[in-house]
Chains A and B, each alone.
Chain A
Amino acid sequence: MTLKSFMNDAISPWMKNEGPEADIAISSRVRLARNLDSLPYPIIASEDDLNKVIAETETKFSAHEHEKFGALSLLKMQELSENEKRVLVEKHLVSPHLTREGPARGVLLSEDESLSVMVNEEDHFRIQCLLSGFQLEEGLACANAMDDWMEETLDFAFDEKRGYLTSCPTNVGTGLRSSVMMHLPALVLTKQLNRILPAINQLGLVVRGIYGEGSEALGNLYQVSNQTTLGTPEKEIIKDLSSVVAQLIQHERAAREQLWTNSKDKLEDRIYRSYGILSYSRRMETKEAMERLSDVRLGIDMGIIKDVQGSILNELMVLTQPGFLQQYAGEALNSQERDWRRAALIRERLTLEEESHDGGGEL
């Protein structure tokens, strides 16, 4: 398989760098937790009961076209290979928990992968909409539409006082978890992020690095999400999160300008060094790959590097994960082989950019 066709299959819409403010707010996710009121929750349910949930899902939702979502297909975990499951996790379409143990687990996926419904994870259903850029309201509309459709024929566990009843008390009420993944390199470089984070935490929101150490996240990628789900209407939860995300975007832009004014030479050097290393090295660990890709992405966004697409960070941070590397290689790889393959894939991806820039075809 060529890298180009592999990528066409591998790329979900959220990685495409197309949504509003997608240079900083990489993706937005809205998730609703729902349960049936007549069956025990997956944590204690019998295999028979879990199979009932899967069967209902299959007959009611995967056999019909939905006007908004089109045809949905149900992937059953027990029918997938270990690596196929891993790839679903790396694309952020399912949680690691869903792929782990237990019978009768699945995911209902829309064709473009912007909608996924995990079945028999911690709750009977986890409806998730994942979109590129800063699109929380659209994400909520999407998740609500699926929720309404499901509620037409399913009796959800709902209580007037406590709202939607979930397996974990941290999700009860709205069952809503919304989050935005943000690329914040300039706030990290200028050491401002650590001052901003406590203020955000005080607002009942959570910021954390993705696969990172300490407050410095890998690839300068952070996820901001709401913490509480009970006592506040969905729209307000989204509004509160949105206003913080909007502020973070502003701060990041200001920090970029500050870097440009105060230390342009240093910044350019750093970005081109990373670009050079990504273009020529033969072995690359995930950690270094993420750091270098973050630099290059910053260079693209600031107009320092001109011939590379901004989506390269989003794509490569997913495509260089172990599951994808193995899928592309067509075989299992140990970690040294993966480092070698990772470097090769990054080089190949950058070469694709150059070709397409030379008129060698578009991606």
Chain B
Amino acid sequence: MLCQECQEREASLHFTKIINGEKTEFHVCDVCAKDKGEYLPGGNSFSIHQLLSGLLDTGQSFAKSSKQHSRQQAKPELQCKTCGLTYKKFAENGRFGCADCYQYFDEKLDPVLKRIHGGNSVHAGKIPKRKGKDMHVYREIEDLKAEMQNHIAAEEFEEAAKIRDQIRSLESSLHKKGGDVS
């Protein structure tokens, strides 16, 4: 079998990846495997081209499933105003050009991210300490609200009241800082 990357040498590295039941096969030669780095430890763990093919390409796959096809075609092409990357280019390379691309391409990202990340499209992990200060508080408030609901469900109203007070003080600290938040 020929290497799927260079189509020149015999493929020597074969593997299949299955993410949530989606199978993708890889057949590459030694040289390309090393070259791409993606197949080796430390590299990106899989080829974005394989995974996104059919999903990111700007033409048919969206058109078929979407009634808005004609309307979408009439719209000007999606483009990141910060770095100038077009959605079409993103679809070809599978790489964003800058942080703002995520905003400019947002309307198209949910299905892409869900397919890559096993149905998830929203972050649930670490928040940077300095930059995400308020986000830490928001998340803490959400956690406390869930905890409060649990206590209410268990009819532990004293506990629930304590947590309600905690939530209030966190919220007021946010308001003070934000100033214009009413």
Report if B30 contacts A (CB, 8 A): yes
Within residues 119 to 139 of chain B, which ones have a CB less than 8 A from any CB in chain A? 119-132, 135
Q: Is the interface of A mostly helix, strand, loop or mixed?
A: loop
Within residues 92 to 145 of chain A, which ones have a CB less than 8 A from any CB in chain B? 92, 94-97, 122, 128, 144
A234 to B128 Cα, complex, angstroms? 13
> In the complex, what's the smallest C-beta–C-beta distance from A215 to chain B, in angstroms?
8
Asked if A230 and B117 sit within 8 Å, CB to CB, the answer is: yes
Asked if A96 and B123 sit within 8 Å, CB to CB, the answer is: no
Q: Which residue of B lies closest to A34 (CB)?
A: B128
Given the complex, which residues of A lie within 8 Å of B82, measured CB to CB? 40
Within residues 35 to 58 of chain B, which ones have a CB less than 8 A from any CB in chain A? 35-37, 39-46, 48, 51-52
Report if A223 contacts B (CB, 8 A): yes
Asked if A160 and B123 sit within 8 Å, CB to CB, the answer is: yes
Query: Known contacts being A96-B40, A213-B12, is A206 close to B45, with CB within 8 Å?
Result: yes
A228 to B18 Cα, complex, angstroms? 12
A173 to B39 Cα, complex, angstroms? 22
Report if B85 contacts A (CB, 8 A): yes
Asked if B96 and A204 sit within 8 Å, CB to CB, the answer is: no
Within residues 50 to 85 of chain B, which ones have a CB less than 8 A from any CB in chain A? 51-52, 82-83, 85
> In the complex, what's the smallest C-beta–C-beta distance from A290 to chain B, in angstroms?
13
Asked if A204 and B19 sit within 8 Å, CB to CB, the answer is: yes
Asked if A159 and B102 sit within 8 Å, CB to CB, the answer is: yes
Report if B99 contacts A (CB, 8 A): yes
> In the complex, what's the smallest C-beta–C-beta distance from B24 to chain A, in angstroms?
11
Asked if A162 and B122 sit within 8 Å, CB to CB, the answer is: yes
Contact residue among A167, A213, A237 (Cβ-Cβ distance under 8 Å from B96): A167
Asked if B46 and A176 sit within 8 Å, CB to CB, the answer is: no
Given the complex, which residues of A lie within 8 Å of B17, measured CB to CB? 201, 206, 208, 227
Within residues 157 to 172 of chain A, which ones have a CB less than 8 A from any CB in chain B? 157-172
A167 to B85 Cα, complex, angstroms? 12
Query: Known contacts being A173-B117, A174-B126, A234-B126, is A37 close to B12, with CB within 8 Å?
Result: no
Asked if B83 and A40 sit within 8 Å, CB to CB, the answer is: yes
> In the complex, what's the smallest C-beta–C-beta distance from A230 to chain B, in angstroms?
4
A-B contact pairs, 26 of them (CB 8 A): A92-B41, A95-B37, A95-B40, A96-B35, A96-B40, A97-B36, A151-B130, A152-B130, A155-B131, A157-B98, A163-B125, A163-B126, A169-B113, A170-B116, A173-B124, A174-B123, A204-B20, A209-B13, A210-B41, A211-B13, A214-B14, A227-B45, A228-B19, A230-B122, A230-B123, A231-B124
